[in-house]
């Protein structure tokens, strides 16, 4: 048997995984008390807003995929808020902004996470909002033990809190010692207000959830957000800007339940969110890889890894060239996922040499994008904080759930991070900064427009494997969200690995070749970040082909997690990466 850090957990009562172990326990408890996968996902999602405030918050985003067993159908919940009515390229230019900043208030989109969780619960769940929000409210009131990852990030951002953002300092400064209780009284009150709005509504379960949702989008919280964003805040450029988001933007917002994008690979079927996310880029990679005999190349071989890296470069170049909100731009998704197009793109791959070009097959890169770094990163001075953000660190979490009824949920909560925007004092959380993923090039599909969703990196995943198992999986990690799971999938589908934990634990790598979705949109042609556990001879062979190897550490690439259910036996499985020592999985007996 190959190496795994722990067993894949198994049971017949359901399975959950989440970015923090306390959230996982909350999800498992919800299943144990008779809730379904949607109930458990909502409980974990609200808990993660308290437990991982550097990764997500109530005013962020959460794309969600749901498999509804009774309908035998998969749905996508947008969970990505659009640009406010006042957000236009002209408005940015009038403020002297050449590229939307990664922090402050100017990059705020309409908060979508709360709508998405309420929509998931109302349509697919069985519990009241007060039930699923109660554990998160308790964590915010009583506190949770400070843990190393959160402490590290807070230590890095606390000087800014004390210097510029007193509303954030009031909650998170001074940084607690490890094991000391971290509370958030304002957030606890916000959760209590949601529960009270639900209670006052009376009527049925759905009406109560809708009333709580409307309390946020059309009540006092929306007014508090508008007042707070009217005060200019300094951003990474050194300029001070007020936000463009207003209460009427929140009042008019309605999330959506949509058809996901689907494609097949090696007898498996995959579902991803549409092109307002980067989700289809995973499907493009699999479509390209299907034309290669990876099994003959060998698991973890230089041939396999080189082929995948080159495939990723082509797929992500198409992401940059033409992905955008399909309500505003015509994205040729059918062509991008066609076998004819895949065959054409495969011919660009040199089996002996790494490409250093960014080559969209359809569309083009935005004007002035990306900032390209050379082999030694000498092209331009880059602040370490901006580089970290550009590589997708410290910015997202993940959760998955499967229940005994056969339902599955995969969600990727993100945005509303405390390192990039100050907390609204009355609410205890900041507003998201996802508009930084828009471009200001008027001829590009992803150009900023009012009411338009930015093309986000957030990318939950659902699959049905050839052996019949239904699988919910994914990882945090910005642009790497559709790279780190690929070796996991290849293990399951090309190399005969059945064990989820073994496939997750295997050493991995990812390309930094493509432009980052995050400000300042860096690209590092030919660069490949590798975990040090990869075989030295394999890395030497990759370097010989022109890949520029960057060492990441032995356990540094994301937090891939997964849950599955076998409809034939009813057996559920759960696994989570040990990387960063916070993600956790659980299976119920």
How many residues appear in the chain? 589
pLDDT digit string (tens) for 308-325?
Answer: 999 999 999 999 999 999
What's the mean pLDDT in 111-116?
A: 98
* pLDDT above 60 (res 185): yes
pLDDT at residue number 236: 84
Alpha-carbon distance 448 to 454, whole Å?
A: 7
Tokens linked to 509: 């790598």
Q: For residues 221 and 68, is the Cβ–Cβ distance under 8 A?
A: no
In this predicted structure, what is the pLDDT of residue 387? 40
Confidence of residue 374 (pLDDT cuts 50, 70, 90): low
Per-residue pLDDT of 92-111, as tens digits, reads: 999 999 899 999 999 999 99
In DSSP notation, 414-465 reads B---TTTSPPBTTTTB----GGGGSB--TTSTTB--TTPPP-B----EEEE-
**In sequence order, which residues have a C-beta less than 8 Å from that of residue 40 and are 6 or more positions away?**
14, 16, 27, 28, 30, 31, 401, 403, 409
Burial degree of 499 (CB within 10 A; 0-12, 13-18, 19+): middle
Residues 174-202 have a mean pLDDT of 97
In the predicted structure, residue 230 carries a pLDDT above the cut 60: yes
Distance CA 504, CA 557 (A): 10
Residue 405, pLDDT above cutoff 60: yes
SS3 label, residue 14: strand
The reply to whether omega before 439 is within 30° of 0 (cis) is no
**Two tokens, residue 490:** 């290849």
pLDDT tens figures, 539-562? 999 999 999 999 989 999 989 999
**Average pLDDT over every residue of 164-173:** 97
Q: Read off the pLDDT band of 203 (50, 70, 90).
A: confident
For 265-279, the pLDDT digits (tens) are: 999 999 999 999 999
- Assess whether pLDDT exceeds 60 at residue 388: no
Taking 90 as the threshold, does the pLDDT of residue 129 lie above it? yes
Tens of pLDDT, residue by residue over 134-157, are 999 999 999 999 999 999 999 999
Q: How far is residue 446's CA from residue 6's CA, in Å, rounded to a whole number?
A: 42
When pLDDT is cut at 50, 70 and 90, the band that residue 581 belongs to is: confident
Backbone torsions φ then ψ of 89, nearest 5 degrees: -55, -35
Residue 477 Rama label (left phi>0; alpha psi -120 to 50; beta) = left
DSSP 254-282: ---EEPPEEEEETTEEEEE--TTBSTHHH
User: From residue 141, how far is each of 61, 132, 178, 469, 501 by CA, in Å?
Assistant: 23, 16, 18, 39, 34
Check pLDDT > 90 for residue 86. Answer: yes
Residue that has been written with the tokens 């949607």 in this structure: 38
First to last CA, the chain: 25
Q: Three-state DSSP class for 399?
A: strand
- Mean pLDDT for all residues in the chain: 94
**Predicted pLDDT of residue 386:** 40
Residue 389 reports pLDDT greater than 70: no
* Mean pLDDT within 107-126: 98
Specify the pairing of strand 144-145 against strand 509-511: unpaired
């Amino acid at each position: 048997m190959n190496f795994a850090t722990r067993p894949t957990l198994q049971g017949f009562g359901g399975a959950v995984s989440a970015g923090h172990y306390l959230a996982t326990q909350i999800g498992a408890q919800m299943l144990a008390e008779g809730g379904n996968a949607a109930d458990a996902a909502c409980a974990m999602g609200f808990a993660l807003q308290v437990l991982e405030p550097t990764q997500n918050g109530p005013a962020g985003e959460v794309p969600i995929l749901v498999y509804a067993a009774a309908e035998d159908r998969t749905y996508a919940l947008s969970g990505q808020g659009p640009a406010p009515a006042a957000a236009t390229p002209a408005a940015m230019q009038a403020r002297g902004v050449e590229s939307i900043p990664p922090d402050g208030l100017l990059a705020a989109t309409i908060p979508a996470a709360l709508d998405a969780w309420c929509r998931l619960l109302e349509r697919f769940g069985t519990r009241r909002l007060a039930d699923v929000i109660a554990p998160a409210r308790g964590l915010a009131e009583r506190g949770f033990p400070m843990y190393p990852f959160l402490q590290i990030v807070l230590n890095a951002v606390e000087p800014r809190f004390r210097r510029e953002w007193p509303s954030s300092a009031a909650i998170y400064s001074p940084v607690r010692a490890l094991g000391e209780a971290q509370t958030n009284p304002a957030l606890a009150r916000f959760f209590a207000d949601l529960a009270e709005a639900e209670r006052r509504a009376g009527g049925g379960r759905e009406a109560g959830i809708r009333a709580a949702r409307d309390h946020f989008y059309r009540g006092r919280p929306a007014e508090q957000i508008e007042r707070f964003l009217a005060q200019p805040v300094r951003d990474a450029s050194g300029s001070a800007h007020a936000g463009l988001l207003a209460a009427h933007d929140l009042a008019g917002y309605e999330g959506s339940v949509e058809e996901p994008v689907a494609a097949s690979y090696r007898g498996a079927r995959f579902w991803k969110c549409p092109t307002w996310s980067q989700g289809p880029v995973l499907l493009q990679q699999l479509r390209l890889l299907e034309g290669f005999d990876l099994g003959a190349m060998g698991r973890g071989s230089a041939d396999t890894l080189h082929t995948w890296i080159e495939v990723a470069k082509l797929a992500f170049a198409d992401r940059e060239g033409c992905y955008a909100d399909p309500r505003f731009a015509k994205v040729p998704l059918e062509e991008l996922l066609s076998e004819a197009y895949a065959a054409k793109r495969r011919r660009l791959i040199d089996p002996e040499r790494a490409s250093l070009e960014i080559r969209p097959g359809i569309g083009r890169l935005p004007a002035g994008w990306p900032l390209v770094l050379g082999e030694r990163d000498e092209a331009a001075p880059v602040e370490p904080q901006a580089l970290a953000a550009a590589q997708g660190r410290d910015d997202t979490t993940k959760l998955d759930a499967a229940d005994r009824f056969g339902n599955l949920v995969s969600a990727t909560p993100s945005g509303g991070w405390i390192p990039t925007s100050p907390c609204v004092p009355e609410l205890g959380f900041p507003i998201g900064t996802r508009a930084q993923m828009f471009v200001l090039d008027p001829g590009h599909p992803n150009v900023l427009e009012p009411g338009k969703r930015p093309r986000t990196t957030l990318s939950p995943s659902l699959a049905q494997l050839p052996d019949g198992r239904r699988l919910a999986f994914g990882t945090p990690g910005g642009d790497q969200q559709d790279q780190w799971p690929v070796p996991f999938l290849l293990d399951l589908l090309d190399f005969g690995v059945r064990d989820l934990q073994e496939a997750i634990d295997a050493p991995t790598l990812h390309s930094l070749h493509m432009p980052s979705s995050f400000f300042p949109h860096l690209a590092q042609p030919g660069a490949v970040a590798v975990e040090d556990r990869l075989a030295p001879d394999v890395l030497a062979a990759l370097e010989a082909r022109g890949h520029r190897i960057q060492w990441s550490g032995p356990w540094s690439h994301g937090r891939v997690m997964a849950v599955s259910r076998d409809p034939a036996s009813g057996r559920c499985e759960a696994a989570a990466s040990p990387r960063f020592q916070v993600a956790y999985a659980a299976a119920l007996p």
